[in-house]
Amino acid sequence: MNPRVKKVHPNDDYALSLVFDNGEKGVFDVSPYLNNGIFSQLKDRGVFNSVRPFLGSIQWENGLDLCPDTLYLDSDRLTKSSGGLSAA
């Protein structure tokens, strides 16, 4: 079983900064989903910014969610390097 989402923060570029329950951090790009069916609702910044952790995954106020395995496997992992965070 892959790690589950502990914290989520919406970014201005339609990406999500994630913290997983194993301590890893990652960034998941939601922009490829924005023109697909119901996910187009996330173009509304108010809806996109409503994202919250939910049962090990994430969920928006309108009920949309993403699989926690997708979030973990498809996110760019962040690592500490020279005082900042960078994609791994």
| pLDDT digits 0-9 by tens, 27-70 | 999 999 999 999 999 999 999 999 999 999 999 999 999 999 99
| pLDDT digits 0-9 by tens, 33-45 | 999 999 999 999 9
User: So where are the chain's domains?
Assistant: 5-79
Does the pTM surpass 0.85? The reply is yes
- The yes/no answer on whether domain 5-79 falls in CATH 3.50.50.60 is no
Residue whose pair of structure tokens reads 């999500």 in the numeric block: 16
